[in-house]
Amino acid sequence: MNLHAVRAIYVFEMSRTRRTLLQSIVSPVLTTSLYFIVFGAAIGQRIPEIGGVSYGAFIVPGLTMLLLLTQSVMNASFGIYFPRFTGTIYEVLSAPISSMEIVLGYVGAAATKSIILGIAVLVTASFFVPLQIAHPFWMVSFLLLTAITFSLLGFIIGIWADGFEKLQFVPMLIITPLTFLGGTFYSIDVLPPFWQAVSLFNPIVYLVSGFRWSFHGVADVNVGISLGMTMVFLVACLIAIWRIFATGYRLKN
């Protein structure tokens, strides 16, 4: 494996984050802090406990997952789209570096940024609500798997998109609504039976449920199923990226 090439891509992408620190790190954390203030402090005082967990603490995993999903997709999609837009992607493709190493560099950087944001949100949340993690190992596992999986999805979107509008389409009009409807601010157990069944078709439900279980030991869906769904999505993204490089889709034409 050409580790020097992987490191070069990774360092370049991470340096872009340092140059746009206010937009990349500070802005998402401030936005999420407002969610904690409005929903956790203001509304949370009027909502009883959910599953024995205070409402402010209950929404922490959902809000962290909301930021993690959207930022993973956006970081990875912009990371690979700009080389395509400027034409520098052809220099990368002609270099002595394999497709796996290219993906490692771009996706690794995007996932790292998202994990940093996720940790920053958790630290911020600790100032607003008492934060306890029942299963630290599984919390870290879900954090890593989600960041990597959705960074892979963002990489796919960055190659598929042929304009800046399409880069925003999936994160803003698909992932964010699905996350809000996936139990970020509530448990699907409070829904009528019909809507509980409908919610199970939302893949974000499994991610939020598994991540929330790692904090509070309560979940809407069995944690094994949540982990399995995450792995299925990860494998699907890997297969899609393999096909992209095998066919040269939007890379070599």
pLDDT in tens, 130-168: 888 999 999 999 999 999 999 999 999 999 988 888 888
- What total of structural domains would you count in the chain? 1
* 236 has pLDDT over 90: yes
pLDDT at position 21 is 63
* Structural domain contains residue 11: yes
Under the banding of pLDDT at 50, 70 and 90, the label for residue 234 is very high
Kindly report the average pLDDT of the chain as a whole number.
87
In a domain, 210, yes or no: yes
Is 212 a residue whose pLDDT tops 90?
Answer: yes
Residues 6 or more apart in contact with residue 215 via CB below 8 angstroms:
57, 60, 61, 131, 132, 133, 134, 135, 139
Determine the Cα–Cα distance for residues 241 and 101; give it in Å rounded to an integer. Answer: 12
Residue 138 near residue 219, CB atoms below 8 Å: no
pLDDT for residue 20 is more than 70: no
Convert the pLDDT of each residue in 28-56 to its tens digit: 778 777 877 777 666 666 777 787 888 88
Tokens of 138: 């599984």
Least confident segment among 11-20, 78-87, 210-219: 11-20
H or E element that contains 150: helix 136-160
**pLDDT over threshold 70, residue 24:** no
Q: Tell me the C-alpha to C-alpha distance, in Å, between residue 158 and each of 40, 57, 111.
A: 34, 34, 15
More confident residue, 46 or 101: 101
- The verdict on residue 72 lying in a domain is yes
Phi/psi for 234 (5° steps) reads -60, -45
Q: Which residues pair with 10 in a beta bridge?
A: none
Let me know if residue 252 belongs to a domain: no
Q: Give the confidence band of 239 by pLDDT, cuts at 50, 70, 90.
A: very high
Supply 32's token pair.
């999420």
Range of the domain at 71: 3-247
- CA gap 138, 104 in Å, rounded: 23
Q: Could you give the angle at which helices 136-160 and 99-125 cross, rounded to 10 degrees?
A: 130
Instruction: Answer whether residue 253 is part of any domain.
Output: no
Please check the confidence at residue 22 and state whether its pLDDT lies above 70.
no
**Strand, helix or coil for residue 53:** strand
pLDDT score at 16: 75
What is the pLDDT at residue 138? 94
pTM: 0.91
Taking each helix axis from N to C end, the angle separating 55-86 and 203-216, rounded to the nearest 10 degrees, works out to 130
- Residue 60, domain member (yes or no): yes
Angstrom distance (rounded) from CA 206 to CA 201: 10
